[in-house]
Amino acid sequence: MSGWTIVLVGLGAAVGAPLRYLADSAARSRFDSAFPWGTFAVNVAGSLLLGALTAATAVLPAGLAALLGPGFCGALTTYSTFGHELVALAERRAGRTAVGYLLGSVLAGVLAAAAGWAAVRLTL
């Protein structure tokens, strides 16, 4: 891995992380719900984009793939926040919401990644 690749990953992360924060803040102010809509939305959107990027790796320059994949998508999506929110829902005894969040996130993330991959594969 070259030094430029690390810089590109960092640049992508510098955009993805604040975008995640802004999306979560916007969702919290818009929805009065125990369900963590902001994290759910960025994780599904990131899965869609990463699925598309995975399908396009043969035609993408390596630097762009690093910038958008591990950089942007890696910082935009967040497994640690997902886990923390599940634990917080369980602590608040919001079991149904926790189970819905768990199953919905996994299913929507996998389907979004598959849809992104398929959309790119159909155009190549």
| Tens digit of each residue's pLDDT (9 = 90 or more) over 73-89 | 999 999 999 999 999 99
CA-to-CA distance for 117 and 107, rounded, in angstroms? 15
- Return the structure tokens found at 77: 């999506």
Question: pTM for this one?
Answer: 0.93
Chain centroid to CA 67: 15
Q: Give ∠ CA 123-65-103 in degrees, rounded to 5.
A: 75
Residue 77 annotated as binding site: yes
Mean pLDDT of 34-38: 96
Annotated ligand binding at 78? The verdict is: no
What CA–CA distance (Å, rounded) separates 114 from 100? 21
